[in-house]
Copies of this chain bind each other. A is one copy, B any other.
Amino acid sequence: MRTSMKRSENKSRYAILGMLTIAPMSGYDLKKFTEKSMNYFWNENYAWIYPTLKQLEQEGLVVSSQEKQEGRPDRHLYTLTEQGRAELRRWLNEPTVFHETPRNEHLLKMFFADQVPLSITIEQMRFWREALQNMLTSLEDLDRQASVVALEQKVPQGRPYRLLALSYGLHMGRAQLVWCEETIAKLEGLP
């Protein structure tokens, strides 16, 4: 575990505090939850979750309780404290600094594609299109279940925040796919 974990820059803190507003969870649960419901805009990682949970507990933002299980490791369930909720709200109120350019390796290759034959670039694009298609399909599946999920997760009625977030994913996924298909068509039309 790191000697000092700086308070300001670690976003996983807030993701974890946020998820714990839904229900008490273990490190394992938190990972599964991000994978199932937030994977189109967030990811978490055991090697970061477990140390962060300990840190949050030391700061009094969460409390842990152990659930004994037969033949399996104990589940360490973490529950949000009032201080934890306050810290989450503090962050939610802060203005969000516009994020840095995420690097896109696909586009980097497109940008220097004049160094290889056209056929290679078309192949790369088809590969990308397929990946996008799969991603979008799984998002659409999520969307079909989402109204249920959203209600279960105790979001106040008429405040469909999680559906709005999902809708962002759908907008972006579709836009990427549209560009991808346009671009493949253009490339295929070249001499």
Binding site for B on A (CB under 8 A): 11, 14-15, 18, 21, 38-43, 85, 88-89, 91-93, 95-116, 118, 120-121, 124, 127-128, 131, 135, 154-156, 158-159, 161-162, 164-165, 167-168, 171-172, 174-176, 178-179, 182-183, 186-187, 190-191
Contacts and interface: CB of A to CB of B under 8 A. Distances in A.
Copy number of this protein in the oligomer? Answer: 2
B18 A112 contact: yes
A186 B168 CA distance: 13
A152 B88 CA distance: 51
Interface of A: prevailing SS: helix
Contact of A11 (B95, B105, B186): B105
A14 B16 CA distance: 36
